Structure formats: C-alpha cells, structure tokens
Amino acid sequence: MRSHQGKCGYLRLDGYPSNGLEQVSDSGIDKTFLKDQFPELIDLSDSHHASRSQQGDLLTLIELPQFQSPQQAGLMGMDPRVKNQLEALQLHPDRHLHFGRDPELPNKDILEFKKLESFSLSLNASVWDPPSLNTLWFELVNGAYGDVYRAKALMNLPDGRSMFFNWIVSQESSQFIPLEEISAPNGRPASLSELVVQGKHLDGLRIQSTIDLCLLNDAVLEMHQMPLRDRQKEAIPST
C-alpha cells in the first residue's frame, strides 16, 4: 500500500463461524490502524464510499477471517458467500491466493484450527503503565492465560501515543507500531483501544484481572501528563 501511487481502500468482510471455531466480532483495530497510517484510506464498508471500489487505480485491502485452507485451488476454492459479499460491492476477484498453498504468500503463516475460542475487551479511555503492558503482552503471547494463536490490540500510553500490537503464533516476535496521531496530555484519550485474542483454553477473567493491575488511575496519569503539558508550554515561543 505504501508503494501504490493511487488511492487505497480497505474492506473487512465478516467471516463465518463453523463448528468449534469462534469468530471475533470486528473491533475496528485494523481500520483504525490503517486509517492512521494512510489518512486518505477509503473505507469501503461505508456505503457512501462503496461505489468508489470501481475506481481504476484503487488498491483495496480486503480482510476476511478464515480458519482452514480452501478445498480447491484458485477461484473455485472461494467460499460462495464471500463471492456474494464482494459482488454486492461490485468487486470481481480475478485471483484467489491462500497461505501455505500459493508461493506468493509466506508458507509459515498457514495454521489449521479444529477449535478456537476468542476473547475481546474494550479498553477505551484506559492508559497503561508501560512496563506493565510489556509484561502483560509477554505473558499473554507466551501462554500464561491459555494457548494464544493470535492477538491484536491498540493500547494507549501515558505520553499520548497509541501502539498497535500484533502477534501471530507462527511468527518469531510481535509487531509493535506506534500510531502517527498522538493524543493531547489532557486526561483520558478518546482514541479507540481494544484487545482481541484467539486461542484455546483462554482464561478471560484472569486476563481481565491482570489488565486491571496494569492500568493507570487518574492521579498517576496526571503525574505523567503534567510535565508533558509544561514542556509543551515551554516550546511555544512567547510573542
């Protein structure tokens, strides 16, 4: 998307839960992250923009949660329900690639699931103690609260930054990417903050209670923000 010269679009399609495999409802993490990185991004799930999917130079990232390899190669392997969703948006795929099957995609990203649980938590207005967040993420992706296959989050830090966290069990390490937009150091941030986890034997209550130990209260948050405000005042030249 960074190297594409024209406009970029994003579309998240709903996946289809099947026996023993729980889908996570769309938390908006990806859309928020991409919109931050590409402010001109066109959200094709918004009906006002759907007609723009026909723009010739539009590069669209389509996200579809899927747990198993398609039974057939190429377009024949596409779930007809997905095809219908795309056609409603006047999108007609000419190729269908899949992790682990097609050489264009990394082979190690293939994972077959027989059973999958999900856990999600809204963390809007929450701000983390940074070293505690580091510990919680380490414990989470290393199995302290169940076998985690996938975890994704947007987390707020006391200096106003928001971080995108991304973990896939087949990868060696997590991705941590700071968002471009920084909140003003005035109380609790308004930006989206969510945690989504997929895996087996997830202990949501313990994840929640550990998170409670990591979040800053108003007094501590103010201790972090006051010097930031003072520095901002000093940086404004007097007239």
* Contact residues: another protein, CB under 8 A: 129, 131-132, 134-136, 138-139, 142-144, 206, 210, 213-214, 216, 220
Nearest Cα to Cα of residue 116 among 69, 67, 153, 79? 67
Nearest approach, Cβ of residue 147 and another protein (Å): 12
d(CA 7, CA 215): 38
Nearest approach, Cβ of residue 140 and another protein (Å): 11
CB-based contacts of 56: which residues, under 8 Å, 6+ apart?
A: 6
Judged by beta carbon, residue 20 or residue 227, the one nearer another protein is 227
Q: What is the DSSP letter of 79?
A: -
Judged by beta carbon, residue 81 or residue 201, the one nearer another protein is 201
Nearest approach, Cβ of residue 182 and another protein (Å): 22
Tell me if 176 sits within 8 A of 33, measured CB to CB.
no
Nearest approach, Cβ of residue 161 and another protein (Å): 18
Judged by beta carbon, residue 19 or residue 217, the one nearer another protein is 217
Burial 102-127 (b: 16+ CB within 10 A, else e): eeeeeeeeebebeebbbbbbebeebb
Burial of 163 (0-12, 13-18, 19+ CB in 10 A): buried
Judged by beta carbon, residue 13 or residue 136, the one nearer another protein is 136
Judged by beta carbon, residue 80 or residue 131, the one nearer another protein is 131
- For residue 216, the tally of other CB atoms under 10 A from its CB is 21
The two structure tokens encoding residue 179: 């968002």
Nearest approach, Cβ of residue 73 and another protein (Å): 41
